[in-house]
Amino acid sequence: MKSPKQVALEKKILKMLSGKALKTAEMLIHDQEIKYLQDYANTVSIKRLHYNDHGPVHMRKVALNSLLLIDLLNEAGIMLSLESEGVGTFEDSKIAVLIASFLHDIGMTIGRENHEQAGVTLATPIVERVLNILYTDDLKKRVVLRSLITEGITGHMGTQRIHSLEAGVVLVADGCDMERGRARIPMMLNAESKVGDIHKYSSFAVENVEIAKGNKKPIKITVSMKESVGFFQVEEVLSRKIDSSPIKNYIELYAGVIGEKMKRYL
C-alpha cells in the first residue's frame, strides 16, 4: 500500500506535466517492476544497511525536485544539452530526467557500494521498454535518451564526472532530498550509536529544502534547519553535489538555522 506522502508526491508530479512527459510519469508510477525494485531498495537500505530512505518516496521526491529545477532553467531561457546540441527538445530532456530520477537508486537493491553502476544494469531493460513505447518510430531518440538516462543514474552521487545539464539536474535534485522525514524510520529503528550517525542526525535536523526562482540566478535553493548539525548535510552532501554539477553556475545556495541569518554558499 502506498504511503500518504508517496501519493501526495505523485499528485504533485502529475500536476506539473502534460503531453508525452505526463504519459511517462504515469507509466513510471504504475510500473510493477519499478515498484518492486524501489520497495526492495528501501528494505536493503533501511533494514539491512541501517541507512536512510532510498525507496519510492525518495525517488519520487528526487523526480519532483528535478522537475522544479529543469523548469526553472527553462523559464530563464537556459537551453538543456539535448536542445543546445540539436538532438532533442526540452520535452525529451524532461522525459530523460524524469526516468533517471525514478530509477537512480534501484542499485541499492544490491548494496551501497557502486550502486550507481549496479542501478544502470537493473535499469537498462526498463528504460528500453519505456522508450520503445514513447518513441516507437524514432530509434535515434531512443538511443540518445538511453545514454542520457544512463548518465543521470551513474552521475547522481557526484563520484563520476558528468557533462550534460540534464544529468546535472538529477545530481542536484538528489542532493536536495535531505529533509528530516528521510531519516525518520532509521532514527526509530536504530537507537544505538555507531560510525556514520552524523548523516542520520544531520538529515533529521533539516526542516525544509526549498527550490525556487533565484534573485540573480535561475535557481535558489534554501535549506532551513532546526539545529546547526544540519550544516553537515549542506556542506558535505549538497554543496559537493552542486560543485560536481554542470548546472552549478545557475544556482544560489542558502542555509541556516530557523530564526537566524541565512548563510550564503553560492
Query: What is the predicted pLDDT for the residue at 86?
Result: 97
> In sequence order, which ranges of the chain are alpha helices (DSSP H)?
4-15, 19-30, 32-42, 56-75, 81-84, 90-103, 115-134, 139-154, 165-175, 184-189, 197-205, 231-233, 239-243
Question: What total number of domains does the chain contain?
Answer: 1
Q: What is the pLDDT along the chain (266 residues), one digit of tens a residue?
A: 899 999 999 999 999 999 999 999 999 999 999 999 999 999 998 889 877 778 999 999 999 999 999 999 999 999 999 999 999 999 999 999 999 999 999 999 999 899 999 999 999 999 999 999 999 999 999 999 999 999 999 999 999 999 999 999 999 999 999 887 554 444 444 555 554 555 666 778 899 999 999 999 999 999 999 999 999 999 999 999 999 999 999 999 999 999 999 999 99
Grid look-up 535561475 returns 218
Q: How many CA atoms within 13 Å lie on the side-chain side of 36?
A: 4
The residue segments making up the domain with residue 234 are 4-264
Instruction: Please give the single-letter amino acid code of residue 246.
Output: P
**Do the Cβ atoms of 226 and 239 come closer than 8 Å?**
no
Query: What is the predicted pLDDT for the residue at 187?
Result: 44
Query: What is the predicted pLDDT for the residue at 189?
Result: 47
Three-state SS for 231?
helix
Query: What is the predicted pLDDT for the residue at 188?
Result: 47
Rounded to a whole number, what is the distance in angstroms from the first to the last CA of the chain?
41
CA 142 to chain centre: 22
